[in-house]
Structure formats: structure tokens, C-alpha cells
Amino acid sequence: MAVSGTSSAPELLVELDRTAVEPLHRQLADGLRTAIRTGRLAADTRMPSTRVLAADLGVSRRLVVDAYSQLVAEGFLSSRHGSGTRVATVEIASPPRQSESTRRYDVDFLPGSPDLRSFPRAAWMRALRAGLAETASESFGYVEPQGLFAARTAIAHYLRRTRGVQADPRHIVLCSGATQAIALLGRALQDDELPLAMEDPGFWVHRMVLRHNGIEPIAVPVDDDGIDVAALAASEAKTVLTTPAHQSPTGVVLSAPRRTALVEWAREGHLVIEDDYDAEYRYDRAPVGALQGIAPDRVIYLGSTSKTLAPGLRIGWMVVPPALVGAIRLSKILADTGSSVMDQIAFTQLLTSGAYDRHLRQMRRRYVTRRNALLAALARHLPQATVLGAAAGVHLTVRFPDGYPIADLVRRAAAMRVNVEPLAPCYADPAAAPPGLLLGYANLTESQIDAGVATLARAAL
């Protein structure tokens, strides 16, 4: 096997087996023909000269000339005086396409996804170009595992301005989204910071991540005022994972008395992990500042771009009390040595240029319209359902009357090409969960939302 290439032609991976019975010129012709048929060599690609390819492969030039001549005769290559040998336009083999019936749903109420079609591609590319022009080459090596200092500084300014977080760039650790943050914490927390409690219901993925890291969360109930702090205090928990600004999944906001009680509990020597997963989106209520701004030495603050830009970016951050920075930094080093520098560069520019704020304002206007469309469709098609968490975020929780066969509804809806997720997995004991659904609306148009709910109503019959 050899790789050939010149400064003006592509590198070619060509396999030549000198122990085979088949002549080398035929092996070369077969290899090039396959590369062209499969699209590895695109039409009009300039081929290496016969002299260069022969030298790279360690064969005679006559052998390469014979192979090229054969492919020219077959129409796979074209040779013109003054322009060298190029790949001809031929029909290439396409991989089998996934059937439409298995590829996607007609309407997917996947919770937690933003409008993926509205990702600011042009602004992101401008930000990346501008950032690359200002970034030293050393930044592309194995850099500070907490993240580029410029990125942490930009995030700190943003969080102070928009969420009231007391953010010091030295105490920020960048990570691959909030899910990795939970995994890093699961490895970094010491015995005197465990057991760990979690809201019930809560985000089921985080519960699984904690269990995977050997932590069985203590379930603490949630009511209309948020997490039950009295129940938390009565437990043996020394750390709690909570979503005070917009409880996941019910959408309730932690009430003022509960916020005060939770801060007092933390100041008694406990630790709060504040997952601020979608606080940028609020519609019918005043903004609620981050809990971390009140007790920065007792709260670990988590955030990400998964709801604001795209979950595929895998950009997240932790604002950590100074005493815990070392342990979490080590956890990050052992996980992956650090997050993508290119994404950090682009996101920093997006923040500092104001493009991120402009994108969020545009998305708020779009999402409130879609939220309203979902509320109207539910009132029209599923009046028996009770809606929770409509004032903020990118999903609604819909509760059905006790005893309703929600699993049958999910199954029938899927058969009708509408995807919905049940509420049950969010509970520590799914069998005891009330019947309900999680309906994400940010990645759907108003017409899709109405059609999807109408289909759910037919499936509910």
C-alpha cells in the first residue's frame, strides 16, 4: 500500500500487492477505477503526473502510463495537452438511502431542541474567521483544560450581565455541554460532598449519568413552588442538583421562600449544583436571577449553548467555587484534556460582537409564537390535558387524568408518525409517575405543531 501526491495533485491511496499473481499495472488501474466509481476521486480532479506517481509507488513509469492509457480508453480519465490527466465525469455509486418510513417522523415533539434551521451559520463563520485572525498559533496545541482564557472571560462577562452570576474566568471550566459537566462532577465530588440529591421529577439523562459514575441520587419531590427544601433538609444529602429558574421537566420556578431556604441550607455546609439549562427563554414572567449570584461559594453553576444555538456544538461551562476548581479541572483533564479550541474561538467572537444577543432576541420572538400555537392547539384538540411550564423554555409538560394509558398514546402516535416522549422516565420510580408528555416546540413550525397535536388527539381516542 502506498500514498502518492504532489503539491498540485491529490494524495492517492493505492494498494499494490507485489506477491499477487495479478500484474501491478492491472492492480493500479483497478484501484484508480474503484476510487473514481465510488467518488473518492471527484470529477475534474487533476491526477499526479506519471513520473511522480511512479516514483511515489516505486514502480516503472511505463507501468503508470499503461494504467492511465487503459482508464482514458475506458472513459474514467481524460488527457488533454497542456492540462495533464484529469478524472472524467462518470456515474458514481451512491450509498443506499435510508427509507423515508424509517428516517424520520412527520412531527417530532422532541423536548429540549432549539430551532436547528435557525442556527446562525453566517454569523458563526464570520466569528470563526475573525477569531482565527486574532488567535495565536500556540492556542491550537494542548492548551489549558479549563478552556481558552479569552473564552472564559467572554462567558464571565455574559453571565454577569444576563444572569447575575458572580463569574471569575479563573473559576470557569468549559466542557462539552451540561451532560459532561454532570459526569465531571460525578467523578470530582468527594465523600464529604455525598450523598447527592436530585429533583423528582428531574432530567432522566442526568440521573443516568450520575448512576453510571457510581452515585445513586436521593429523590427529593417537586411541587408548585419547586424543590421541597424541607424534604431535602430532612434527607442525608450534602449536595443537590436542581433547576431553580425553570424546573426540568415541570417548568415551575423556585418560589422566593424556597430560594431563601435553599440558600440557607447551602450555607450550612452543603453544595448546590444549579443547572440553568434554558433561562434565556422567558415569555410571561419576569426574569429570575441565578442562585449562584447569592451564594457563589456554595453553588456550582452550569450552562450551555444546547438550547440557544445547537446541541451539536457541545459547548458548556461550569462556574465553580474556588475550593473545587482543582478537582474539577483534574476531572476534565482525565476526560478529554480540553474542549474544541475552534468552537471556543467562534463562540467568544459571537459573544463579544453582540451577535449572540441578537440571535437570542430573534429566537425569543419566534419561540413565543410557537409556544402560543402549541397552547392553542392543545386547548382545541386535547382539552382534557393540563399544561405546565408554559411561561418559559422550549418545551411544555402536559398532564393527563390519572389512570390514562399514556404508553398506548405514545405508541399509537408513533405509528401515525408523530414522536412524543412520556413524562415517566423523569421520575426516580417511572411506574409511579403520573401520565404525561413532554412536548418540545422550538424546532417545529406552527403548522407542524397544529397537525401534530391534531394527530395526538386522534391517537388519544
Q: Does domain 121-353 have CATH number 3.40.920.10?
A: no
Report the chain's mean pLDDT, rounded to a whole number.
91
* From 67-81, 92-106, 215-229, 397-411, the region with the lowest mean pLDDT: 92-106
pLDDT of residue 97: 55
pLDDT of residue 100: 46
Where are the domains positioned within the chain? 2-87, 107-113+358-459, 121-353
More confident residue, 249 or 58: 249
Mean pLDDT confidence for 68-78: 86
* From 72-81, 172-181, 194-203, 349-358, the region with the lowest mean pLDDT: 72-81
Q: Express each pLDDT in 288-344 by its tens digit.
A: 899 999 999 999 999 999 999 999 999 999 999 999 999 999 999 999 999 999 999
pLDDT of residue 95: 55
- Model confidence at 89, pLDDT cuts 50, 70, 90, reads confident
**Which pTM value belongs to this model?**
0.82
pLDDT of residue 5: 47
Fold of the 2-87 domain: Arc Repressor Mutant, subunit A (1.10.10)
pLDDT of residue 2 exceeding 70, the answer is: no
- Model confidence at 57, pLDDT cuts 50, 70, 90, reads confident
- Domain 107-113+358-459: homologous superfamily in CATH: Aspartate Aminotransferase, domain 1 (3.90.1150.10)
pLDDT of residue 96: 52
Mean pLDDT confidence for 115-137: 95
pLDDT of residue 311: 95
pLDDT of residue 169 exceeding 80, the answer is: yes
Strand partners, 84: 80
Mean pLDDT confidence for 7-25: 77
pLDDT of residue 417 exceeding 70, the answer is: yes
pLDDT of residue 6 exceeding 50, the answer is: no
Mean pLDDT confidence for 130-139: 93
More confident residue, 64 or 461: 64
Encode the chain in three state secondary structure: CEEEEECCEEEEEECCCCCCCCCHHHHHHHHHHHHHHCCCCCCCCECCCHHHHHHHHCCCHHHHHHHHHHHHHHCCEEEECCCEEEECCCCCCCCCCCCHHHHCCCEECCCCCCCHHHCCHHHHHHHHHHHHHHCCHHHHCCCCCCCCHHHHHHHHHHHHHHHCCCCCHHHEEEECHHHHHHHHHHHHCCHHHCCEEEEECCCHHHHHHHHHCCCCCEEEEEECCEECHHHHHHCCCCEEEECCCCCCCCCCCCCHHHHHHHHHHHHCCCEEEEECCCCCCECCCCCCCCHHHCCCCCEEEEEECCCCCCHHHCCEEEECCHHHHHHHHHHHHHHHCCCCHHHHHHHHHHHHHCHHHHHHHHHHHHHHHHHHHHHHHHHHHCCCCEEECCCECCEEEEECCCCCCHHHHHHHHHHCCEECEECHHHCCCHHHCCCEEEEECCCCCHHHHHHHHHHHHHHCC
pLDDT of residue 129 exceeding 50, the answer is: yes
